């Protein structure tokens, strides 16, 4: 049986012209050889499989060639080239620094450098994975590398340039090899397939090239693997099944569903992807890449950045025409956030489903009101209320951002402070009549949500309802009212009774103690600092962080209502300020800390310790 040679070795470039994707480097090396400006040491650095060692071997063969062509290539016919091809050249030495990394190995190399070549002009030393040399080996190599004999040339190759000593780097000409482009890899694979008489679809070769991530050797290894699986006919379907690659069709389908706001079909497609065994994070990163490709497909100048085949590119151009640039930018930002938080999510599938539902709402804000596969009414997004006149200065602290709507059973489970549903015989307090547009002029989506118990929409959750706990006679029956009007409607007329800082502190402490058992976090927020009374009855509370600020913000209507009721002043308003540095309250832990705490309260203890020359042990 004939010995099989992998494609990465069989089709390894033998000249600068056949090196794939490194034109700038090969042109520089050829010009240096033609002009006889060959440096004493070269450093080839870059990712794996991009041609570093290959270019080092071609360089070593070419500078010893006796009949260099005008293009700067080796002739491949002279004795030096023939001996190199047969791996019998005495002028070219390859050293694997990964297994020969000691100082003794480098000293042996230095001893060999002293012997001039018996045939040819140069002795070339190729040291692969040079970053694996030890510190002592680098130091032993420094002097020889800086001042080698005229006939000695060194070519160092590494994937991790940052691990090499700066003194080594300063003695070399550095060539940074870049990742090979998808199109270059696909073209080389097509050449290999044609040479091996294998029929391969262009889309299949592009998938292999994308999976290789810029490494031509990896692409050739995958090509050999797929040929063993598929035989002499390689199709796109066989490639994505064997390499476990998510088909482009999934991304195009799910993007169409997102653009139409079809939540049901989007979630069903995600379920199909997960059942096929694909990792969730692989899907979300692939979707972000797909959206990025759609974004660059919208501009003729950036279409060239698409690293796909001609057939797939046509699909991108077609779908890009349906997308708005604003949607794509927001969708990319959403996918990036969910990709970052995927690893720390406990329910990863729900994490992906929420991401897709948010994308659907980005493209179609009304997608939540009716799932396309049925007629399920919206429960997670309340309809916007009609516009009201500009609020007066007394209403400046109305909560602008409405908290999320939660179903009534969930509200009762979240906090014992939420008021229970009203009995049937008790009518809700209606808001004060305001000037509203006629029914014919108000669109259907702008009708206010009813607050009666018979309303189909779930009640809105506004916070802890401190006023209901402290004063059962003051009922919280209107959802999200304006603060001042709500107090008046609850039975308390407008008042402006004067109160002092001491009065405020007493009422504030009374309010905080009321919620201590039910809401300990809020109690901590209320008691972390003393509220300050300013002019116009503005109350400023300093908090330590954003979380505490959110606690006050979410419960500001109830806190304000309670203070207005107790202090009999309807002009009260609350502000929050985040402190530059939180107050550090650390209990004494070590013996020294305990002694210092005692000495601060009783200075005589320190005097006693010093007089008796005592040690601190408790």
Average pLDDT over residues 164-184: 90
Average pLDDT over residues 201-227: 88
Mean pLDDT (the chain) is 77
Tell me the CATH number of domain 182-242, given options 1.20.1370.20, 3.40.50.261, 2.40.30.10, 1.10.8.60: 1.10.8.60
Q: Using pLDDT thresholds of 50, 70 and 90, give the confidence band for residue 366.
A: low
49: which residues sit within 8 A by CB, 6+ positions away? 212, 214, 215, 216, 217, 218, 219
Taking only the tens place, the pLDDT of each residue in 257-273 is 999 989 999 999 999 88
Taking only the tens place, the pLDDT of each residue in 458-482 is 333 334 444 444 444 443 333 333 3
Give the residue among 497, 553, 504 at the shortest CA–CA distance from 525: 553
**SS3 of residue 42 by DSSP:** strand
d(CA 561, CA 557): 6
Per-residue model confidence (pLDDT) at position 438: 39
Average pLDDT over residues 489-507: 75
Q: Using pLDDT thresholds of 50, 70 and 90, give the confidence band for residue 353.
A: very high
Average pLDDT over residues 379-384: 42
Same fold, 182-242 and 248-369: no
Q: Using pLDDT thresholds of 50, 70 and 90, give the confidence band for residue 441.
A: very low
**Looking at the predicted structure, is the pLDDT value of residue 377 above 90?**
no
**Looking at the predicted structure, is the pLDDT value of residue 432 above 80?**
no
Average pLDDT over residues 100-117: 87
**SS3 of residue 377 by DSSP:** strand
Average pLDDT over residues 86-109: 86
When mean pLDDT is compared across 242-251, 350-359, 414-423, 545-554, the lowest value belongs to 414-423
538: which residues sit within 8 A by CB, 6+ positions away? 573, 574, 575
Q: Using pLDDT thresholds of 50, 70 and 90, give the confidence band for residue 436.
A: very low
When mean pLDDT is compared across 43-47, 266-270, 310-314, 382-386, the lowest value belongs to 382-386
DSSP 546-576: HHHHHHHHHHHHHHHHHHHHHHTBTT-EEEE
pLDDT above 90 covers a percentage of the chain that reads: 16
HEC profile for 396-422?
CCCCCCCCCCCCHHHHHHHCCCCCCCC
Of all helices (H) and strands (E), which one includes residue 207? helix 202-212
When mean pLDDT is compared across 152-156, 243-247, 385-389, 526-530, the lowest value belongs to 385-389
**Looking at the predicted structure, is the pLDDT value of residue 581 above 80?**
no
Per-residue model confidence (pLDDT) at position 396: 39
d(CA 175, CA 54): 13
Average pLDDT over residues 515-543: 85
Q: Using pLDDT thresholds of 50, 70 and 90, give the confidence band for residue 554.
A: confident
Q: Based on the number of CB atoms within 10 Å of its own CB, is 224 exposed (0-12), middle (13-18) or buried (19 or more)?
A: middle
**SS3 of residue 319 by DSSP:** helix
Q: Using pLDDT thresholds of 50, 70 and 90, give the confidence band for residue 492.
A: low
Give the residue among 247, 276, 263, 248 at the shortest CA–CA distance from 355: 263
Per-residue model confidence (pLDDT) at position 288: 93
pTM of the predicted model, to two decimals? 0.53
Per-residue model confidence (pLDDT) at position 257: 92
Give the residue among 117, 168, 174 at the shortest CA–CA distance from 145: 168
Q: Topology of 469-585 in CATH? A: GMP Synthetase; Chain A, domain 3 (3.30.300)
Per-residue model confidence (pLDDT) at position 515: 85
Domain 7-176, classified CATH 3.40.50.300, yes or no: yes
Average pLDDT over residues 22-31: 90
Distances (CA, A) of 441 to 438, 444, 446: 5, 9, 10
Domain boundaries, given as residue ranges, for the chain: 7-176, 182-242, 248-369, 469-585
Tell me the CATH number of domain 248-369, given options 3.40.50.1370, 3.30.470.10, 1.20.272.10, 1.10.150.20: 1.20.272.10
HEC profile for 153-199?
EEEEEECCHHHCCHHHHCCCEEEECCCCCHHHHHHHHHHHHHHCCCE
Average pLDDT over residues 53-82: 88
Q: What share of the chain is helix, strand, coil (3-state, %, to 5)?
A: 50, 10, 45
């Amino acid at each position: 049986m004939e010995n099989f040679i992998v494609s990465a070795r069989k089709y390894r470039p033998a000249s600068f012209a056949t090196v794939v994707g490194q034109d700038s480097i090969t042109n520089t090396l050829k010009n240096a050889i033609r002009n006889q400006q060959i440096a004493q040491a070269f450093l080839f650095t870059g990712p794996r499989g991009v041609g570093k060692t290959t270019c080092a071997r071609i360089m070593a063969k070419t500078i010893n060639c006796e009949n260099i062509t005008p293009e700067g290539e080796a002739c491949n016919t002279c004795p030096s080239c023939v001996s190199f091809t047969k791996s019998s050249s005495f002028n070219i030495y390859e050293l694997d620094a990964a297994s020969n990394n000691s100082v003794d190995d480098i000293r042996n190399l230095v001893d060999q450098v002293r012997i001039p070549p018996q045939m040819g002009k140069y002795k070339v030393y190729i040291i692969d994975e040079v970053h694996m040399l030890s510190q002592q080996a680098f130091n032993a190599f420094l002097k020889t590398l800086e001042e080698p004999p005229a006939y000695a040339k060194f070519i160092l190759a590494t994937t991790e340039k940052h691990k090499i000593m700066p003194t080594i780097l300063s003695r070399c000409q550095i060539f940074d090899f870049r990742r090979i482009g998808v199109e270059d890899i696909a073209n080389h694979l097509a050449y290999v397939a044609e040479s091996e008489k294998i029929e391969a679809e262009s889309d299949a070769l592009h998938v292999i090239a994308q999976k290789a991530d810029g490494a031509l050797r990896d692409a050739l290894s995958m090509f050999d693997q797929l040929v063993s699986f598929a035989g002499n006919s390689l199709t796109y379907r066989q490639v994505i099944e064997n390499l476990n690659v998510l088909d482009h069709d999934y991304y195009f389908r799910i993007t169409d569903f997102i653009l139409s706001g079809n939540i049901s079909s989007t979630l069903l497609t995600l379920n199909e992807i997960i059942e096929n065994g694909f990792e969730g994070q692989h899907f979300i990163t692939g979707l972000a890449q797909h959206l990025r490709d759609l974004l660059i497909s919208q501009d003729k100048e950036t279409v060239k950045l698409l690293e796909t085949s001609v057939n797939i590119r046509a699909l991108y151009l077609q779908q890009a025409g349906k997308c708005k640039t604003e949607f794509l930018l927001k969708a990319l930002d959403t996918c990036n956030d969910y990709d970052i938080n995927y690893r720390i999510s406990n329910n990863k599938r729900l994490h992906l489903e929420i991401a897709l539902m948010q994308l659907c709402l980005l493209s179609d804000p009304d997608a939540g009101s009716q799932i396309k596969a049925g007629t399920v009414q919206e429960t997670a997004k309340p309809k916007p209320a009609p516009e009201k006149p500009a609020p007066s200065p007394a209403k400046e602290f109305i909560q602008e951002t409405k908290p999320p709507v939660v179903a009534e059973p969930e509200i009762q489970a979240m906090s014992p402070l939420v008021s229970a549903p009203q009995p049937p015989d008790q009518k809700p307090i209606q808001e004060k009549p305001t000037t509203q547009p006629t029914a014919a002029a108000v669109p259907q989506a702008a009708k206010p949500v009813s607050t009666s118990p018979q309303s189909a929409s779930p009640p809105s959750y506004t916070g802890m309802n401190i006023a209901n706990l402290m004063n059962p006679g003051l009922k919280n029956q209107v959802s999200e009212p304006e603060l001042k009007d709500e107090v008046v409607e609850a039975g308390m007329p407008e008042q402006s009774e004067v109160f002092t800082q001491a009065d405020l502190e007493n009422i504030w402490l009374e309010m905080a103690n009321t919620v201590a058992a039910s809401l300990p976090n809020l109690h901590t927020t209320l008691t972390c600092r003393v509220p300050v009374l300013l002019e116009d009855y503005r109350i400023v509370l300093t908090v330590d962080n954003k979380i505490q600020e959110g606690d006050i913000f979410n419960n500001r209507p109830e806190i304000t209502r309670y203070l207005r009721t107790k202090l009999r002043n309807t002009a009260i308003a609350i502000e929050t300020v985040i402190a530059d540095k939180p107050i550090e309250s650390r209990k004494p832990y070590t013996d020294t800390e305990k002694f210092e705490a005692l000495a601060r309260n009783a200075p005589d203890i320190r005097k006693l310790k010093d007089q008796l020359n005592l040690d601190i042990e408790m």
